[in-house]
Chain A
Amino acid sequence: VKTWIEAQGSDSSAAPSREEIIQAIDARAREARRRSLALVAMSGKGHVGGDLSAAEILATLYTAVLRFDPNNPSAPARDRFVMSKGHSSAMLYATLDQGGFFETGLLETFMQPGSPLNGHPARGRAPGVEASTGPLGHGLPIAAGMAAAARLDRSKRRVYCLVGEGELQEGSNWEALMFASHNRLDNLTVIVDRNGLQQGASTEETNALEPLAAKAQAFGCDVSEVDGHDAEALFDLFCGLPGRTDRPAFVIANTHKGRGVSFMEDRVEWHHRVPTDPELAMALAELEETA
């Protein structure tokens, strides 16, 4: 198992520089934004706001952090990534396609009748999907169990779990954090896509998470905050983990819902609004310009 960027190099070529890695992450995040938006527009359903806020987090993990083998998605030594915010499936699928998990054409079947690419990811159906999610609060307990299994196996594999911030209102997450810190699962990294909004309103207005860092710390986590759209900062942070051995890492990634498309950014209605054809064209053009 290797990271994507490691797998690109041949034996003769030099390892990519840090700068090249960051460039690759940004380019892949941009491409995944375009493709996920197109998927949602095509299928007429989806959650673009949370797709776009997670772009750099997923691109960083699947470019330069997670070790996997797309030809053997269940390789025992692989690192695990659990997408707990399963409604951001279009972004996950676009990322898995970049990672080489999907056969040509599979991505375009997104939400089509009978497709393995459900509106919410399903383990055992879509290649590379580690957990069935969508109902919120499921991913983190599963990820904690995966981390406990790695510990029991004396394996160095790591487990990453991306949770939505509104999702943290589900109590099961806090049950899982208690379990992870009690068992000193420092091979577990929880990433919060802190984009400020949930389905109906801002998270702080709905049922406030703040002080989130203090809460996670009180639950026994090694807490850090990062700009969730800064590929360099994300890469450095993930490379430095575990920061404090014996504690699960809890990364608050500050992001913007709808990031990258001006008329979607930080707007609650874009939680699950579907872009019209003209809106999609405008969005893709904007994403082209920023390239």
Chain B
Amino acid sequence: MSEQLLHDCRIGFAESLTALAEHDERIVVVVNDSLGSSNLVGFSQRFPERVFNVGIAEANMVGVAAGLADSGRIPFVCGASCFLTARALEQIKVDIAYSNANVKLCGMSPGLAYGELGATHHSIEDVAWLRAISGVPIVVPADPIETRQAIEVAASHDGPIFVRVSRSPVPAVYDDDYRFELGKTVMLREGSDVTLISNGIVLHRALDAADRLSARDGIEARVLAMPTVKPIDWEAIEAAANETAAIVTIEEHTVKGGVGSAVAECVVSCSPVPMKLIGIPDVFAPTGSTEWLLEHYGLTASAICETVRTFVRARQVV
């Protein structure tokens, strides 16, 4: 991985949002003193009138966005995901989702991005919280290209949507020809033994793990990228459950309620197969760099490879 060029998803995010705003004056931004951390200083210089910085006040931030949407504006609310989703959860439920306000919620620096800052700043519950609220699609992009496209889709989507925007450096998973479609998975690797389902900044690690499984153990893993956690791609999950002997999910999120849980809900309803959920266990993570924490919780390519191998061997499914 060290030879690979690494990218910050916020670059794709800001470029995309600024380009969209050039052609659509409905687009406005609402932030909680988070212009810099959202990489939107350039946006604010280009469109000063269309930036509402409410200061450190998340409940008000989301309410103000709902009010802006009332007149036909398309607000992008950009704040650290840990604060946006937790502090303003009731506003997200009532002002945005229940009211079907056309507001785009951008959870900045989610997951373990603020590793050293501690569990207060880890946002490993955001997908679980929002997944329980009706009417909010959830997107977890894997790289800057997918982030850019997710923002374009969010802008044209009629209604609320939540997009995680990471700051953690990632290698490019997709090239410029990639087209993100809301609600659709992408089969990144064919395989008939086991299916790995992942998204976000750990997707490339799952892909890497699949290559290692093939080379070292002769286990052929299908890799499904699942950028949209909700609405979930039921068909692709059902096919994976029917065509491979086990499913392993890999996420930068607690295993209580994230993409692993969402996949499990489908699997038990359609075609049960053994599943393993890799992510943050039911604990408050300690302090440490993002990389250290990912390693700590078995989210490196080699650790994923080992977990999958042990799992399928123990289950004697392959």
Q: Known interface pairs A124-B100, A137-B59, A175-B57. Does A149 touch B70 (Cβ–Cβ under 8 Å)?
A: yes
Contacts of A152 in B (CB 8 A): 28, 49-50, 68, 71, 73
Q: Known interface pairs A80-B70, A152-B28, A178-B55. Does A132 touch B94 (Cβ–Cβ under 8 Å)?
A: yes
Which of B49, B70, B94, B99 has the most chain A CB atoms inside 10 A of its CB?
A: B70
B64 interface neighbour in A142, A150, A155, Cβ under 8 Å: A142
Across the interface, do A145 and B94 meet the contact criterion of CB distance under 8 Å? no
Write the nearest CB–CB distance from B284 to chain A, whole angstroms.
26
Q: Does residue A55 face the partner (Cβ distance < 8 Å to B)? A: no
Contacts of A147 in B (CB 8 A): 67
Write the nearest CB–CB distance from A226 to chain B, whole angstroms.
25
B60 interface neighbour in A80, A135, A150, A179, Cβ under 8 Å: A179
Write the nearest CB–CB distance from A61 to chain B, whole angstroms.
18
Q: Does residue A122 face the partner (Cβ distance < 8 Å to B)? A: yes
A137 to B63, CA, bound (A): 10
Write the nearest CB–CB distance from B280 to chain A, whole angstroms.
30
> What 1/0 mask marks residues of chain B from 164 to 193 whose CB sits below 8 Å from any chain A CB?
000000000000000000000000000000
Q: Does residue B91 face the partner (Cβ distance < 8 Å to A)? A: yes
B66 interface neighbour in A145, A153, A172, Cβ under 8 Å: A145
Interface residues on chain A, size class:
20 to 34
Across the interface, do A175 and B59 meet the contact criterion of CB distance under 8 Å? yes
Interface residues on chain B, size class:
20 to 34
Across the interface, do B54 and A179 meet the contact criterion of CB distance under 8 Å? yes
Across the interface, do B71 and A150 meet the contact criterion of CB distance under 8 Å? yes
Across the interface, do B94 and A146 meet the contact criterion of CB distance under 8 Å? no
Q: Which of A122-137 contact B (CB under 8 A)?
A: 122-124, 130-135, 137
Write the nearest CB–CB distance from A30 to chain B, whole angstroms.
32
A183 to B49, CA, bound (A): 11
Across the interface, do A148 and B60 meet the contact criterion of CB distance under 8 Å? no
Ranked 5 nearest A-B pairs via Cβ: A145-B67, A141-B63, A175-B60, A145-B64, A149-B71
**What are 28 sample pairs from A and B whose C-beta atoms fall under 8 A apart?**
A80-B70, A122-B99, A123-B99, A124-B99, A132-B95, A135-B94, A141-B63, A141-B67, A142-B64, A142-B95, A144-B60, A145-B64, A145-B66, A145-B69, A147-B67, A148-B52, A148-B68, A149-B67, A149-B68, A152-B73, A155-B71, A171-B59, A175-B57, A175-B60, A178-B55, A178-B60, A179-B55, A179-B57
